[in-house]
A and B are shown apart, each in its own frame.
Chain A
């Protein structure tokens, strides 16, 4: 981990874990209640809705269309502008990989690009 990213971690709520230094989302390692305020890279961000353990929180602003990165790898694209501290889930992130899986069913399990 670089010195810069260590400093970032130090100024972020301990309940938010950055798995890989290049990630732009944290993982909540505990339930975070609505109405709380948490520190995200030094900025105090209010928490409007409860963020359960295992869910993602934006580490920085992610414009619509940009890749969301976790484990150092793209896990999909932002479907709208995301601000630092926002909950990141199905309402603002979609798969780049199997966008039609639920409808396409088993026959097109692998989408060829």
Chain B
């Protein structure tokens, strides 16, 4: 392991470098979902991935997510599938993708002549465009150019001392080599404000970090959800801040370089906190429908790869970017081995240290970036969820240009 490791990346016309060469088929409203799925399905093992937004009414957040995902560095070409009467601005999205230099085509079901004709035309376009994508230029990519996100789900009593801090160790190694690393779940960091308020590279950023968690606490208070459950104490957790630190430990120990929101791409290497909790009054329900929605947000922030820490056993992957699963419970690992990439449960069994597993996760990131399929990729997982949310843009203190 050295900083000299290089990745043979896919070079996009806009200069961004990807570690996968995905053709995205995107439905622009739920009414176009079936047609888009039928178009993509025969090509699902040839890097055709399905994403989309189901809503008929306009939403700035969902629109921005679609713009960012369709021009993600792992994406080489996009087919947009519109019904014809939905609100999402298909021409604006088309132009963004076209301006990025990626091949793009729009099929409007109502204009094309219905389901069958649109599926046939879509499959023809996908077939010919996949051939074009086969000759995408390659370029060397350094670890410092990688963006890696992390999420946790299905946590158990072991996650807080196995998978989560081991991911934190891997984040330390990545950030130390100049990569950008993104952690999130501000809504599971209630109690970490004091710790966060010392982590920013500037005092103004530190205040923003603490404020993002206070916002999450208010949001969840309105929803009357999110508290310290009796089962937590049985698992050995004593305080709210201790429970939150288990999730927080995925970020590792680097100073925090910025606070971003879904769709914001880290401008340089370093550790970033992604604020996933909507701004303003509670309007569309829970901040995120599931882990899959959070993964989609991390990918919209440019994540080439996702580290998923689990204890009880998550199985999902993602459209656009590979997901590496780090299992913190040795019994779960043995029971669901095909779904897991790294056995962090060895920490609980005493056969590995946090540093050992952190290095193993780091090595796994490099191999996946060099093209090796992750467990969820090999199993064909390509989950995607996008729902209504609302955000204000980040303030000037959130991305300091100079480090103190």
Contacts and interface: CB of A to CB of B under 8 A. Distances in A.
B236 A28 contact: yes
Interface stretch (B29-37, B101-109, B188-196): B188-196
B51 interface: no
B240 interface: yes
For A17, A95, A110, the residue with the greatest tally of chain B CB atoms inside 10 Å of its CB is A110
A113 B191 CA distance: 13
Contacts of B165: 19, 71
Interface stretch (A39-47, A58-66, A86-94): A86-94
A107 B218 CA distance: 9
Interface in B243-277: 245-246, 248-249, 253
Interface in A7-56: 14-15, 17, 19-20, 27-30, 52-56
A43 B239 CA distance: 28
Contacts of A107: 221
B235 A54 contact: yes
Contact of B191 (A1, A94, A97): A97
Contacts of A106: 221-222, 224
Nearest to A76: B239
Nearest to B162: A29
Contacts of A72: 253
Contacts of A1: 355
Nearest to B221: A109
Interface residues of A, number: 36
Interface string B147-163: 00000000001101100
A81 interface: no
B191 A71 contact: no
Interface string A76-103: 1000000000001110011111100100
A17 B241 contact: no
A101 B157 contact: no
Contacts of B347: 17, 29
A93 B238 contact: yes
A75 B228 contact: no
Nearest to B354: A19
A95 B221 contact: no
Contact of A53 (B158, B228, B240): B158
Given A53-B348, A98-B240, A73 B161 contact: no
Contacts of A101: 227-228, 240
For A27, A75, A98, the residue with the greatest tally of chain B CB atoms inside 10 Å of its CB is A75
B49 interface: no
Nearest to B224: A106
A30 B329 CA distance: 12
Contacts of A95: 191, 238-241
B236 A110 contact: no
12 contacts: A14-B350, A19-B354, A27-B160, A27-B236, A54-B236, A55-B236, A56-B236, A56-B238, A75-B238, A101-B227, A101-B228, A107-B221
Given A73-B241, A76-B241, 11 more contacts: A1-B355, A15-B350, A30-B348, A70-B242, A71-B248, A74-B194, A93-B238, A95-B238, A96-B241, A98-B239, A106-B224
